[in-house]
Amino acid sequence: VPVAILISGRGSNMAALIAAAEADDCPYRVVLVAANDPAAGGLAIAEAAGIATFALSHKGMPRAAFDALLDAEIRRAGAEWIALAGYMRVLSAEFILGWAGRIVNIHPSLLPLYKGLDTHARAIAAGDAEGGCSVHIVTAELDDGPVVAQARVPILPGDDADTLAARVLPEEHRLYPATLAELVRR
């Protein structure tokens, strides 16, 4: 099943999705990596893996116009699913509707807790015993769609946002490819 990945930054989750797709029994393949920031570090990783890339800054463009260009590029690549991997831009409702439940995201919290930014700092400040990450279907409401899978890690005494992020990230890299594989098989 052809999948497009959208990124804005370093792309470590993207890299994990690409690496997993190299296995013979992986049911998805990555046909495009698109970024809304031409400086996104993940683009070079995708290129090195031989994957087509598309980079266009959203700056100065109305959201609907930018999303329409992105949508056209993704469809041209033949993708049937979209995986957001650190894509830091809200997608327009029109874009999301056009993909009817076939956009998936990874979020670094145990949703429905801590939608939006600074998830790890907020979990620590709340005194939570656990943090983690969630893979969810993308709906028009930010970080709000149905949760498909989660991974949990302990929050330890002395943790700050960086140490907790470092504990959660490897879980993201494991959970996301496994969950995407499960979703596209359905």
Per CB under 6 A, residues contacting ligand GRF are: 7, 9-14, 85-86, 106-108, 133, 172
Phi-psi region of 7 (alpha: psi -120 to 50; beta: other; left: phi over 0): beta
Catalytic residue among 58, 107, 136, 173: 107
DSSP per-residue codes, 11-64: -HHHHHHHHHHTSTT-S-EEEEEEESSTT-THHHHHHHTT--EEE---TTS-HH
Does 63 count as an annotated binding residue? yes
Which residue, 67 or 172, is less far from ligand GRF as judged by CB?
172
- Residue 107 a catalytic site member: yes
Shortest distance in whole angstroms from residue 162 CB to ligand GRF: 12
The alpha carbon of residue 132 and the mean position of all alpha carbons in its chain are separated, in whole angstroms, by: 15
Length of the chain: 186
Does 105 count as an annotated binding residue? yes
Which residue, 17 or 184, is less far from ligand GRF as judged by CB?
17
Q: Which residue is nearest to ligand GRF (CB)?
A: 86
Does 36 count as an annotated binding residue? no
- Ramachandran angles phi, psi of 88, nearest 5°: -95, 30
Q: Which residues are catalytic?
A: 107
Please give the annotated binding residues, written as ranges: 11-13, 63, 105
